[in-house]
Every structure is written in C-alpha cells, then in structure tokens.
A and B are shown apart, each in its own frame.
Chain A
C-alpha cells in the first residue's frame, strides 16, 4: 500500500504496460481494502464523504467504492459530482458541497447531504476533490452498476454498455445475478457480452462465441493480448479477432463512403447552381461563391433575429437564403451580365470583380470575423449505427438536403414550363427565340435560380462551418471543376462528379493527408478534362 506514490492528476501515461500493471495492482488493493472497510458501509453520509477528503487516490478509490456499496440515498449524485469534478469540501469548515454550475468564477453551490441551496462558492472557498484517470474509470464503472440495479431501461442499457471490459472478480458475481434478474432483452445483450468477455479473460473459450463479430473497441483491446499466446484459446481468439477486423474494415469503408458523400453533397450544392448558369447561359459566374456566402449570412441573420430558436431559424433560412441570393443574382444579371452576352471571358472578369465587391461589402458591414451559426438540436450529435459506424447528423442532414434540392431542380427542369424553356434556350437560343421563348426573361430567371441554389448551398454550409467573408472563395475552384468534370449543363453529371470527387478525396485522405489528397484530385480533374473536355457525360453531336 504505502509503496504507492501519489499519481499526479494529469500524469502522462508512459506506456500500456505500466498502466495495465497499475490497474491490476489497483484492483488487487481495492478488493483487499473494500473488505476491510466493509463495516463502514452503513455509516452515516458525513463519514462516507469524509473518506474522500484525502490526497491519496488509492484511498479515494476505496472511499468511492464504499459510497457505492453504502445505502445512502444520495450516493449516485455524489459519485456523479465526483466524476464531474463538482464535489468538494468547505476549505474552512466541515460542510460538503456540490457545485451546480462551474462555468463562471462564482459557483452556485448546494449542500451535498441535504441538497439545500448553499449560496455561492469559489475556487478559494470550496476544495474540489480531484480524481485521476484510473479513478474516473472506476467511478464510471461504479455508476454503471448502480444504475444497472435501479433506474429505467435506458439508463440500465447505458450502464450495461459501460460494464463491457469493466467486470472484475469482485463484481462478476453481482453482475451475473443482475443479468439473470434483468427483464429487458436489450439490456441483457450487452450484459452477456460483458460477462462473456470476463469469462474469456478467465480462460473460457466457449464464451468467445458471444463476442464474434462484435465491433466494440473494448472487446478488441481485451482480446489482443489474449490472442498473443499459443493456446487453443489464443487461436480461437485470433479467429474471432480476424472476424471482427474484417467486419470492421467494411464498416470503415461505409464510414468513408458516408464522409465522401457528405463532402460530395456540399460540392454538388455549391456547383449545381453554377452548372445551371454555365450550362444554360454559358456564363462563368465567378461571384457564385459569394452568393453562397450571402446564403450563409442570411441564415446567420435570421438566427440573430430569432434567438433561442435555431430550428425555426433554419427552416426560415431555406426560403430566405434562396430568395436573398436569388435577388442578388437577378440584380447581377440585369446590371452586368446581360451586357456581356457572348463574351464569356469578359463575363468571367466582371463577375470576379463583383465577387471582390461583395466580399468587401460583407467585411465592412459584418466585420471580417467568422460568425457561428448554431445548429438546431436535431442536427447535432450522431446517429450511432454501431461502434465503427456513425452518421453525424448535420452531415447527414446536408446530404439529404442536397438530394432534395437536386430532386427539386430536376423536377423543375423536367416538368415545368420554365424548365422546358430553359432547355430550349440551352439547345438553340435562336430557334427558341423564334418559337416565342422570351430568352432574356429566361436568362434572368435562370440566373436567379442558379443564384438562389447557391444561397441554399450557403444555408447548408452554415450548419457545417463558420460563416465568414471568405466562405465562398474556398469553394469556387472546386465547384468549377465539378461542373466541368460533370459535363457542362448536365445536372446528373454534376451530381455524379461532385459525389465522386468527394468520395475520391475522402478515400485518398488517410493515405496521403488532406492537402495532398486535394492536390491529387485537382491534378486528376485537370488531366481528365484534357482527355475528355466535354466531361463525364459528353453530349455528342455535329456541332460539338
């Protein structure tokens, strides 16, 4: 016992072996001490907390175990507070406090035993009990078994999941008993896994079957040392590990695909408006990126106007971003682009000038600093399929949004009068005119539509990154490449090109790093355009 030196709270772990050794020693010492202080379990709350007031993490561990084993009503709350670093003792007194909010300098505190309001405290007046990493793991385990024996199904399930890899000789029996008493299948399943893992550690080869194909990293981590030996158990463990590994590879691929598609969907959103204006009017709009930026700023502004309601703000931002950016687009078309008809290089330069003006305008009006748009709750967090596969909700949302926008555009082009006229103008401007299509009106609407879609891209982007004056610039080169790669004026081409560039980039990244991956994609597209100047879906014809 006394050979243990106090561990500094943030001691760097000097390797796996040391940590493992410490854990084993700790487990051994805990089981030793827990028996010796067993008598204290029924002691009064004050004594339980008093035991935590020591600089020795070993002793603190014992005290935490004692709290868990006691029948004090407040024990869950204490352990949680201890885990959160919010449990402490009055520096010049004997009272114990729980800090309810430690974000400020003055903390609101409550009495740890009575839970009554105790005014405020500060770092000077309350001595917070510190914990280290090992202790944190232990407390998490304790909390897990506590909520396993009580609470609703959700918390029991969470607790059961916590237990995987945490079962030791001293709690194995009680967990097994809990498992047998558990009514819910959903909760029993992780408990079975946790117990099986424990059994495997004890040398039970049959228990391995339960672990087959389970992607939990804790299982893999536990099995790796077991699989190292020559024994039949080790061989069996190796086969289980191989199975886990190959399954994991597939899920990793799915994960990469998801990230790729989500990155691709941003490219598609950014590029599709461009594809419309470029394809229909032959106009290179270098200010397209800034229209995206305007969409993003519209989202931010709407959110500023509706504080505390990010969901509503986002819902309003979708039409808002479309209309504001679309209006900018119509103005640009009316004032500049229509005078540069048939001079693509001049249009390119003029719209580039507009992009500079818009950027500087935003800088002057809103400051050059980045703004943060809060995502609504249902866009935060992730949808965890399993240990290896999780869909970040905001990215998933953007992906779905992109597909929705694409579908809407496609339907617009396919089924509406405007779409028909746009397609007519794309194919033969003079003929369309002769047939009574008002080409100038079509131009204006088309450009407005392209700009509006850019605004939608901005709304989507605001959910992923910060909003700033340079937001659009970073997408303009990429989106042009997508348009050209996909074949000018081809909606499907843009979709396929954007998605595939996103995925290719994501696949390359782990090998060569983000920057090099981007360079490779850029160079790849440059080479591709040399080979097929018409893009993936090349329109063929005598006039091409």
Chain B
C-alpha cells in the first residue's frame, strides 16, 4: 500500500454517519420490512403470500437482531465480552410480561404499577439499565477485564436464573409469565397485532442501529476502540475508561431490555430459561459469525444463525447442537472477522478493521 493510496484512502466509514454501510444496511432493513408487509397483504391463495406465522417469526428475529446489536456495541467496540446479556433481555421481557399480565388481571403489591404503559416502558429501560449500572460500576471500577469479566457476567445471569426460578419472587417461578391476551387494548392473537409488533421490532432495530452508528462514529466511538486496544494507555492520556465502559454497557443493556420487551408479546411467554447462560453465549456466536465491530455484521449474524436454528431444529433436532457447536469452533478458527470480514475482504477493503481482540491478551 503506497503512501499516496493511503492519503486518499481514509476509512471514512469510521467517522461519517452517512457512510455506505449505514445507508445499505438501513435500506435493506426498510425495503425488507416493506416487502414482507406487501407480501403479507397479498391474498393467501397467492404463491408469494407471506403468512402471519412467518411475519411473527421474522418479528422475533428482529428482537434477536436488536440483542445482537447490543452485544456488538460493547464487544466489538469496547472488547467487553458479556456472557450475560440474556439477563438484560430477560429483565426487559419480564417488565413487559408484567404489563401484559396486568391488562387482564390485577397484580399484587408493587407489580400493580406495571398496569400503566409509561411505567412499564420505563421499567423496560430501567430494570436492565440499573442492573448494568450497578454491576458495571463495581466491575469497571475495580478493573475487572477480559475473561474475568466474562465469567462474572455468566455467574450473574446464572444467579438471576436461580432467583427467578423461585416462586417467592412472585414472577411465576419456573413457569415464568404467560397468559398474555391484550396489548394496549388490542388482542395479541390478531393478525393485525402480529404485523404491528413486527413493524415495531423492525423500527426498533433501525433506531438502535442508527443510535449505535452515531455512537461509534463519534469521538466516543474512537475513544472506545482505543480503550478496547490499549486500555492502560487511555488512562495515561486522561480518559476515564471506566466511565466510557459503564456508559456503553448501560446503553447496551437498555437496548437488550427493549429487545426482550418486544420479544415477549411475540412469543407469548417469558420464563427463567431466558437467563440461562447458554442463551447469552449463543448471542455471542451470532455476533461472532456476523463479524464484530461492524454493527451490520451483528444483524446479519443474528438473522443467519436463527434462521438456521429454525430450519434445523425442525428438520433434524439432534443435529442442531452439533452445528451450533461447530459454528463456535469454525468461526473463531476460520472466520475470526465473521461474514462481515469476508465481505470486506471481498471488496478489497482490508483496512476496514484491524482484527478486533488481537490485543485483548495484553489486558
């Protein structure tokens, strides 16, 4: 690479919000969503008709994509590997679950306040946000990094799983919350509601994507990349890396919470298994497969893996865990930059992102 080439070849995508990848991703999302809506509106007899069940499935994928985005924001850009993001997702889900329960029956005690949508919506953000704030404050302040952080996030979600399994929590014990009938006065089982939730999830993905993009192209984004690669150095030039981490961790947890809140009405149940460490670590493989530190890679990864899961658990249920396991191994060994890395390479843009994580060892 010559000096002349690099002079003009600055990677603009890292500093400009309206970069090509933002535009393409947004466009794909919007067009895809509209296409599904149009095809859904076709009469059922039409060969191209997309059924309500498929729309619901895609809506669920959207919430997974949102969750993947949350993980990529902190893993890709800050090098914080959370193995407990399912916990934030589940907390948002439980907040929404309580609200849905409150539509048809009176809830006891403090849960009664969840009857009101604004309160519930606030809780969707606050419950995961505050947990992330308290947990992150403790962890980042004492400089718990790398695998240590990963392990304690896993312990956190494991502890929460045990806690939510207890009937004394008043949150349905191991059955969790179910029996959802109405959302804001409309029946949850209606076709219209399915479409509405699909659209809401899609819009949420789009907004969250823009939010994350805005953060990562700002100076804060560069601060976080620098923190990911040389945390100690950042301290010596005067940045409070713990604050940076905490801020992004909380934002990420809130996005996960919103994802959970949108997920619950679409699948009709939330139970402690969402806290299971396996789910959280699965999310990580979505992001790893899609490609870290690209945002669109996370969206792509979530979609691909979950589509595979839907197809394979139906066709050969025994094979799914083999394939998921193999995905973990192959992605880390063969595709360390994921699908996005392949795309970037393919387009001859090898400078797109210096291998994230290569400096993690020194942390």
Contact = CB atoms under 8 A, between A and B. Distances in A.
Contact of B361 (A343, A356, A361, A364): A343
Nearest to B142: A530
Interface in B34-68: none
B152 A529 contact: yes
A349 B336 contact: no
Given A527-B138, A529-B144, 12 more contacts: A346-B357, A348-B150, A349-B288, A352-B328, A480-B155, A515-B163, A515-B165, A519-B163, A522-B156, A525-B155, A526-B155, A529-B142
Interface in A493-544: 515-516, 518-519, 522-523, 525-527, 529-531, 533
Contact of A530 (B138, B159, B333, B360): B138
B144 A515 contact: no
B interface, size bucket: 35 or more
B288 A356 contact: no
A530 B139 contact: yes
Contact of B327 (A353, A519, A522): A353
Contact of B155 (A360, A477, A531): A477
A217 B141 CA distance: 54
Interface in B137-153: 138-139, 141-144, 146-148, 150-152
A355 interface: yes
Contact of A345 (B81, B139, B154, B326): B81
Interface in A341-368: 342-350, 352-357, 359-361, 363-364
A342 B162 contact: no
A526 B152 contact: yes
A186 interface: no
Contacts of A519: 159, 162-163
A353 B323 CA distance: 9
B166 A356 contact: no
Nearest to B284: A349
A533 B142 contact: yes
Contacts, number: 126
Contacts of B329: 336, 350, 353-354, 357
Contacts of A357: 321-322, 325-326, 329
A141 to B, nearest CB: 44
Given A357-B325, A477-B155, A345 B150 contact: yes
Nearest to A359: B321
B4 interface: no
The residue in A345, A355, A359, A533 that gathers the most chain B C-beta atoms within 10 A of its C-beta is A345
B98 to A, nearest CB: 21
Given A345-B357, A348-B150, A522-B159, A355 B325 contact: yes
B151 A481 contact: yes
A353 B326 contact: yes
A345 B360 contact: yes
Contacts of A360: 318, 321-322, 325
A484 interface: yes
B332 interface: yes
Interface of A: 282, 284, 336, 339-340, 342-350, 352-357, 359-361, 363-364, 477, 480-481, 484, 515-516, 518-519, 522-523, 525-527, 529-531, 533
A529 B152 CA distance: 8
A536 to B, nearest CB: 14
B164 to A, nearest CB: 10
Interface string B106-150: 000000000000000000000000000000001101111011101
B155 A345 contact: no
Nearest to B165: A515
A339 B336 CA distance: 12
Interface in B317-363: 318, 321-322, 324-329, 331-333, 336, 357-358, 360-361
Contacts of A522: 155-156, 158-159, 162
A356 B360 contact: no
A340 B142 contact: no
19 contacts: A345-B360, A346-B332, A348-B81, A349-B281, A349-B284, A349-B328, A350-B332, A352-B328, A353-B285, A356-B325, A357-B321, A360-B318, A363-B318, A477-B155, A481-B151, A515-B165, A515-B166, A518-B162, A533-B143
B277 interface: yes
Contacts of B324: 353, 356
B244 to A, nearest CB: 18
Contacts of A349: 281, 284-285, 288, 328, 331-332
B170 to A, nearest CB: 15
Contacts of A525: 155
Given A336-B329, A364-B318, A477 B277 contact: yes
A329 B139 CA distance: 32
A320 B86 CA distance: 38
Contact of A477 (B154, B318, B360, B361): B154
A533 B148 CA distance: 8
Contacts of B336: 346
A345 B284 CA distance: 11
A537 B39 CA distance: 63
B136 to A, nearest CB: 11
B328 A350 contact: yes
Contacts of B143: 533
Contacts of B322: 356-357, 360-361
A477 B158 contact: yes
B60 to A, nearest CB: 22
